[in-house]
Structure 1
Amino acid sequence: MPRLVFLGRLEDVAGTGELAVAPGPVEQILAQLDPALAVQLLGEKVRMALNGSLITDMGGIALGEGDELAFLPPVSGG
């Protein structure tokens, strides 16, 4: 099964570090999530990595068996 991986504060919002999902278009997968989580994942500063490679647009992407889509929140530090 494909997996969604939540890093940083997104893990707190999701309540888990990763979530197994059914294969399919990313838009449909996100539509099935808790609306509050989906809003956080689609924030303009959240980056996504598909199987370890950063992507800039999830349009047209479908997750298949073994795929991993990671959501990376902005990092602050000092």
Structure 2
Amino acid sequence: MKTIRFKQTKNDYGYKTYSANVKNTTDFSFKSFSVNVKLLNANKTVIDTQPIFINDWDKGQTNRFEFTTNKRFSNYNIVKDLVD
């Protein structure tokens, strides 16, 4: 999770979409998997949290993680939420 790097892929009407392709490099397949992306301002204050949900993520499979926001942020943290 620490190596995920989101890049802006869209900018529509003040909302920006950020995406990252993420490969499941574990020895496990996940029925459901979710993370929260905490958006931080320059003072490292959380200004928004964006959830990402993935279903049926098989070992070795690559999925697109994506979120959309209208908040301006300087950095982000990815927090593992739920593993099933």
> What is the TM-score when the length of structure 1 is the normalising length?
0.32
Greater share of helix residues, 1 or 2? Answer: 1
- Structure with higher Rg: it is 2
> What is the TM-score when the length of structure 2 is the normalising length?
0.31
